[in-house]
Amino acid sequence: HVIPRFDGDMDDPRGGVRHVIPSKGNYLADATLEPDTVEPPSHDLVTTQGRRMLLELLRCFANDEFNRIDLLVSFVKRSGIKHLLHDLDRAVANSAQVRLLTTNYLAITDARALRILLNRSQTGEGVTTPTEPARGSLEIRVFNDPSTSFHPKAYLFTSDEAAVRVGFVGSSNLSDSALTSGVEWNLRTRDTSVLTSEFERLWSDGRSVVLTHEWLVGYEAFQAERAGLPAPASSSGPTASTLDVDIVEDETLEDVPAPRGVQPDVLAALSATRLDGHQAGLVVMATGLGKTWLAAFDVAEVNPTRTLFVAHRKEILTQARDIFAQVLPDKRSSLWVDGERDLSGDIVFASIAGLAGVLPQLDPAAFDYVIVDEFHHADAPSYRRLLVRLRPQFLLGLTATPERADGADLLALCSDNLVHDVGLRTGIELGLLVPFRYRGIVDVADYTHIPWRSRRFDIDTLSASLATEARAQQVFDEWLGIGGPDRRAIGFCCSVAHAEFMAEFFTARGVEAVAVHGTTASSAPRTESLERLRSGDLSIIFTVDLFNEGVDIPEVDLVMFLRPTHSPVVFFQQLGRGL
């Protein structure tokens, strides 16, 4: 065989090593007919099998390259947007410009879902634009023409810098079934030019109105009226008979939230304690029994002019805001956390750190009803200053874990008034929480040489002692012994390095595992990982403290405590992820 030194140094060098690169086997042939690489197809079908449509959307939302996101759907449901809220918030925080265009056609779009989105929108009245220049925006418009059917569904993601585009067009609305389980066909395309052009045309159409608080109040009333009355037979506009087959049961008018489980009893106890003249009270409810829903229902019962909801983490605040929007859709909410500074809402969701700077100027009677979530933190000086400053008509403390290792008297901060206590045992006995088996394993790690500082193990030494082959192998063997491959697990680790070590160890043995911690770029996407765990595509999420509070994952049936803790609060919080 001849090896040519350069193109054209002999007449026709066929065969030999040149055919290792097919297009170079014969340079006399038209090279364009045999490209070196095969371009991936420009279109492919995405269905809901394995929750794939949802997972594809989550991957796109989590991709920081996409700085423009356009969503065009016929119907928006709470069951659908709940899957996207975390990554939607993250995309906006990372400067993405997000636009959503939907319709009030047939009054199927859920008003409460729109309320949740309006609370996040910079176009909503009273919702201030954060001061960080890097922050993006969320704009919402509604195609407001009851005489015209409106059935497009498209999800468009654009990166101006990288010139990358991905679009999904097909049949999936923003509902749970349309994203996860229904029979849906969506075509993914990399050529979105026509779709984007058509979106712009509809977005600028005079019938596409900006979603505002005033418009939504009117739509809420119309939707409630429509839900209770059949469509007139003589109506010349669209009626329920014109519904396409894609409007499945999940996309009918969703039920108005109502108290359930132990919540009616606790609400009755709260009413009784106020009748007795108490102006403060502590409610203890085990994780999973719905403390935030309880607070929203009680605010609806009391109907205060202004309400303040306080927590220590933004994630808890945004989740609480979404719950309150479903129970109290006519109330305007606002946030006071990080760069968002708005105290004008009927219901204000504020971080304790954010309030510290304005507390001296805050009118003690500014709020009629104050809720302090995760009240086991309330003994801290920042919370004490808040409780001393404010004079609400009623203060509600909420916690699942009132026991503190330092013996702090939380009840004294609520006028020694324990309104109701529904602990873990009671929740299990009532069938509201699942029973569990606790397995304690003799640890191969040696803790005797780990320094003890500030009432806890030195974190660096502890991490080095736990992130070892021997310790990981012990965990792996025990996991196999209890049927780990058939379970969905969360493993709580002592550090990011420990979590990543465990994920790599299990992955190397053929187990689908990831580390989710949110502190570095090496973290797996949070929402996508949770969805993969729910669908069974993922076996284990290793984390540190990310899922201690404010997340509900009913599919988890194994919790692995891979770290020591001196705190009963942390222990019960992490245990609650499996109940």
pLDDT tens, position by position, 468-516: 999 999 999 999 999 888 899 999 999 999 999 999 999 999 999 999 9
CA angle 355, 357, 360 (to 5 degrees): 90
Give the per-residue pLDDT at 26: 53
The region of weakest confidence among 172-176, 227-231, 357-361, 409-413 is: 227-231
Those residues whose C-beta lies under 8 Å from the C-beta of residue 371, and which sit 6 or more positions away, are 295, 299, 307, 308, 309, 310, 395, 396, 398
Average pLDDT on 527-536 reads: 84
- Report strand pairing: 208-210 vs 68-72: unpaired
pLDDT tens for 189-213 read: 999 999 999 999 999 999 999 999 8
Q: Which CATH number fits domain 263-429: 3.40.50.720, 3.40.50.300, 3.40.710.10, 1.20.1250.20?
A: 3.40.50.300
Would strands 137-143 and 208-210 be described as parallel, antiparallel, or unpaired?
antiparallel
Per residue in 180-190, pLDDT (tens digit) is: 989 999 999 99
Model pTM greater than 0.75? Answer: no
For the domain made up of 452-578, the CATH class stated in words is alpha beta
Q: Which secondary-structure segment (H or E) carries 335?
A: strand 333-337
The sign of the CA dihedral 553, 558, 562, 568 is positive
pLDDT band at 372 (very low <50, low <70, confident <90, very high): very high
Across the chain, mean pLDDT equals 83
Within 10 angstroms of residue 235's Cβ, the number of other Cβ atoms is 9
Return the higher-pLDDT residue of 224 and 514.
Answer: 514
Q: What SS3 class is residue 359?
A: helix
pLDDT, tens digit (0-9, with 9 covering 90-100), for 257-280: 889 889 999 999 999 999 999 999
Burial class of residue 403, CB neighbours in 10 A (0-12, 13-18, 19+) = middle
Token pair 């736990």 is found at 466
Instruction: Supply the pLDDT for residue 128.
Output: 39
Cβ–Cβ contacts within 10 Å for residue 396, how many? 27
Residue 532: what pLDDT? 87
> What's the pLDDT at 545?
77
For residues 459-474, average pLDDT: 94
Instruction: Identify the pLDDT of residue 43.
Output: 80
Could you tell me the two tokens for 74? 């016929």
* Mean pLDDT, residues 276-299 taken together: 93
Can you give the pLDDT at residue 147?
A: 84
Count of all residues that appear for the chain in the document: 579
Give per-residue pLDDT as tens, 158-170.
998 877 899 999 9
Please name the amino acid found at residue 344. S
pLDDT band, very low/low/confident/very high, at 14 (cuts 50, 70, 90)? low
The pair of structure tokens assigned to 13 is 């060098």
308: β partners: 348, 370
- Residues 369/392, Cβ–Cβ less than 8 Å: yes
163-177, 236-250, 253-267: segment of lowest average pLDDT: 236-250
| Of 528, 558, 576, the residue nearest 55 (C-alpha) | 528
Please determine, for residue 248, whether its predicted confidence score (pLDDT) is greater than 50: no
Name the nearest CA neighbour of 322 among 304, 340, 347.
347
In the chain, residues under CATH classification 3.30.870.10 are 43-229
**Per-residue model confidence as pLDDT tens digits over 80-92:** 998 898 889 889 8
Per-residue confidence (pLDDT) for residue 236, from 0 to 100:
37
Q: Which residues contact 256 (CB under 8 A, 6 or more apart)?
A: none
Q: What residue ranges of the chain are covered by domains with CATH 3.40.50.300?
A: 263-429, 452-578
Contacting residues for 368 by C-beta, under 8 A, at least 6 apart: 302, 304, 305, 306, 307, 392, 393, 394
Compute the distance between CA of residue 559 and CA of residue 467 in angstroms, rounded to an integer. 18
Q: Would you give the DSSP letter of residue 157?
A: E
- Selection from 477, 531, 476, 535 nearest residue 507 by Cα: 476
Half-sphere CA count of 78, side-chain side, radius 13 A:
20
Domain 43-229 CATH class label:
alpha beta
